[in-house]
Amino acid sequence: MDPDHAKLSTAETALGLRLPDRRLLRIALTDPGWCNEVETPVWVDPWPGNRVLAVRGEVALANCGLEPLSVRARRAEALGLWDCLWLAEGQRSLKGAGRETVLARALTAVIGALALAKERGELTDDVDQQALIARLEAADRLT
C-alpha cells in the first residue's frame, strides 16, 4: 500500500471524514517545512504546504467563534493527527510551543479544506462538518 494512502486513511479515520478530493486533506496535513525539503523537478509544481488552507480555516472559525490555538492543538493531539502529518526532518521531535503550532495549523487547515470543498460544491450538506465537530468535541473529553 502507498504510504501516502495509508497516512491519509488514518487521518480520515481520526477525523471522521472523507473529502471527495483527497488532495485537499493531503495539503492540509503538509507542513510548509516538509515542502522546503522535497526536491521536485522544474517541470513539476511543488507540493503546497498548509498555510493557505489554514488561513481559510481561520476565516471559517472566525465566523463561528475563533478558539485559541492551544485548544486546536490539544484536539489535534487527542485525535492522533501528529502521526498523520508530513513534516520536515527533525520536526517529529518537536515539543512544547513548536509542536502546538504545527498541530493547530494542521487542524485549522483541515477545517479550511472542508470549507473549500463545500464552496466547490463537493459537499452537498453539513454531514461532514457535523462529523468533524462531533470528533472535536469527543477529543475535548479525552484531554
User: Residues 75, 79, 85, 89: is their CA dihedral positive or negative?
Assistant: positive
H-state helical runs in 16-95: 22-28, 32-37, 51-62, 69-79
Q: Which residue has the cell 462529523?
A: 131
Q: pLDDT, tens digit, for every residue of 99-126?
A: 899 999 999 999 899 888 888 888 766 6
Q: pLDDT, tens digit, for every residue of 27-85?
A: 999 998 887 777 665 555 666 889 999 999 888 887 776 678 888 888 899 989 999 99
Specify the pTM. Answer: 0.84
**Alpha carbons 128 and 33: distance in angstroms, whole number:** 29
